[in-house]
Amino acid sequence: MRDKGEFDIARSIRVLEEEKVALLSHVANAFGAMQGGKREEAEALPEELASLILTAYRLAARTGTSPIDLHHKMTEKLDILLRSQDQDAEESLGALLQAFSSRAVQ
């Protein structure tokens, strides 16, 4: 029997592997939704992208990265990307950066 504070390495590895499989599954499903051309598949794209982002946050949390740190990194990367894009991409990226900057992560 294990002590309450003892670290279960096998369980931790299994959980990380499950998160990685989920991440890859959402990527594959998102690509399928983009290539399928069917209305149902196109409607599934936002769902898969949202699940992909959520799974990335869960994987980060499992590996010791706080949601706040991940949020700040996303904001930094969006800002850099915004500065390197052309005018057309600037509007959508600017809106995304504004959404990330205005949301308080707790």
The per-residue pLDDT of the chain, averaged, comes to 81
Looking at the predicted structure, is the pLDDT value of residue 34 above 80? yes
pTM above 0.75, yes or no: no
| Section 41-51 average pLDDT | 86
Q: Do residues 41 and 31 share a domain?
A: yes
Residues 53 and 8 in one domain: yes
Say which range, 11-20, 32-41, 67-76, 85-94, has the weakest mean pLDDT: 85-94
Kindly state whether residues 55 and 74 are assigned to the same domain: no
Output the pLDDT for position 93. 72
Q: Are residues 18 and 47 in the same domain?
A: yes
Query: Structural domain of residue 98, as residue ranges?
Result: 66-106
Reply yes or no on whether the pLDDT at 4 is more than 60: no
Q: Are residues 46 and 83 in the same domain?
A: no
Q: Specify the DSSP class assigned to residue 63.
A: T
pLDDT over 80 (residue 103) = no
Token output for 83 = 């500065």
- In eight-state DSSP terms, residue 97 is H
Residues 73 and 57 in one domain: no
* Whether residue 34 sits in one domain with residue 3: yes
Query: If you search the block for the tokens 């010791």, which residue do you land on?
Result: 64
The answer to whether residues 3 and 54 belong to one domain is yes
For residues 97 and 78, the answer to whether their CB atoms sit within 8 Å is yes
Separation between Cα atoms, residue 58 and residue 41, nearest integer Å? 25
SS3 102: helix
